[in-house]
Amino acid sequence: MLADKRILLIIGGGIAAYKALDLIRRLRERGAQVRAVMTGAAQQFITPLSVGALTADHVFTDLFDRQDEQDVGHIRLSREADLIVVAPATADLMAKLAQGLAGDLATAVLLAADKPVLMAPAMNPAMWAHPATRRNHAQLQADGIRFVGPNRGEMAESGEAGEGRMAEPLEIVAAVEGALGGGPLSGRHVIVTSGPTHEPIDPVRFIANRSSGAQGTAIAAALRALGARVTFVTGPASVPPPSGVTVVAVETAQEMAAAVEAALPADAAVMAAAVADWRVANASAQKLKKDGSGRAPALEFAENPDILALVAKGPKRPRLVVGFAAETTDVVAHATAKRARKGCDWILANDVSPATGIMGGAENAVTLISEAGAEVWPRMGKAEVARRLAARIAEALR
């Protein structure tokens, strides 16, 4: 995927700098040429000697180096690359670029760049959540900077936990491939369903669930980042759809089933929507009103189409079909039985008991059920779950 691509890696100053060594190795084993720029702070964590040994190239560290700058080296570095990757991207580096500062080699290169830039933020959770960092992040995104991460987890330097860990090297590699237009899912079509469905009782009332659509939205975005063409079939979610995908908005389970059918064929389908099992068969055309009797209206229910089973067992079955199992008890057992019953390849099972805060929350804790058995993933942010799943899908579709 990355054969002969020229990557300029800017290594910022943070404990996550050690991951840059593995990132270099991962990029080079895929055929990329890697040249590195290190900030002064980065050199407090890893050495130019180790970086140079892995890149097999000179490591650039000083804006005022007489030899490197005799031909305006910071301009040359930025122009000779196909992509500039900043990993780790510290709060300081982000702030300087957002404000257009260029007081050292790293920031001068970034300001002179005419190539795409991908940043992998890494910092303490409080720093990532600070309003100043949020403003800088938003400004850099508006300026066209791409981001991968940060992830949730424990911080190496403080023991604190939260959002701020640098994305793992393989996640960054996937983002690099996506940024260069040659992602591992380039040319693949993936259908993703997301959000709840609303089943009408009357014109103003409906039956729904607490799904926000955040996980399905994150999955669609992660697949798109790897180069996939994504058809995103979404119920009335509380989060906006991702950019760069084909959005098909629906309300009911029947509408969702029809939209998925119309989107086939596909290479993979990820059925992340929380589809209502039942609909009101005798929904009223007029608003139901109290009649003074104290009796509630009698609602009759009909079973909704089983979208996951229809896709997994249908004549246009994608090569890979992934379902979700939102359970409150015996999660793995119920999900394993569901996988066999529905005929899908993988099931991502999660415990949505109220105490977990997962349904409608920012994090997820899933177990991947496949033919090989149950693989427990740690609790993490929904974006990180999405990136991990997207990477697995890309591997399965090779």
Task: Write phi, then psi, for 266 (nearest 5 degrees).
Answer: -150, 160
287 is in an annotated binding site: yes
Structure tokens, 223: 């697949």
267 is in an annotated binding site: no
Eight-class DSSP state of 142: H
State the Cα–Cα distance between residues 105 and 74, nearest whole angstrom: 7
277 is in an annotated binding site: yes
Our CA angle for 387, 391, 396, nearest 5°, is 145
342 is in an annotated binding site: yes
219 is in an annotated binding site: no
Q: Are 222 and 174 in contact (CB under 8 A)?
A: no
Side chain identity at residue 192, one-letter code: V
State the Cα–Cα distance between residues 273 and 271, nearest whole angstrom: 6
State the Cα–Cα distance between residues 68 and 62, nearest whole angstrom: 8
Rg (CA), the chain: 24
Q: Are 267 and 187 in contact (CB under 8 A)?
A: no
316 is in an annotated binding site: no
For 242, 247, 290, 308, 394, the CA distances from 218, given in Å and listed in that order, are: 8, 14, 42, 19, 16
Active-site hit among 209, 282, 350, 364: 209
State the Cα–Cα distance between residues 96 and 384, nearest whole angstrom: 27
307 is in an annotated binding site: yes
290 is in an annotated binding site: no
State the Cα–Cα distance between residues 76 and 72, nearest whole angstrom: 7
282 is catalytic: no
Type and span of the H or E element at 350: strand 346-351
Say which residues have a Cβ less than 8 Å from residue 343's Cβ, sequence separation at least 6: 309, 312, 313, 321
265 is in an annotated binding site: no
Residue 190: name the closest of 242, 231, 235 by CA. 231
Residue 299: name the closest of 383, 194, 394, 199 by CA. 199
State the Cα–Cα distance between residues 46 and 332, nearest whole angstrom: 43
State the Cα–Cα distance between residues 20 and 18, nearest whole angstrom: 5
Q: Are 7 and 157 in contact (CB under 8 A)?
A: no
Binding annotation: 277, 287, 305-308, 324, 338, 342
Among all residues, which ones are annotated catalytic?
A: 209
Binding annotation for CTP: 277, 287, 305-308, 324, 338, 342
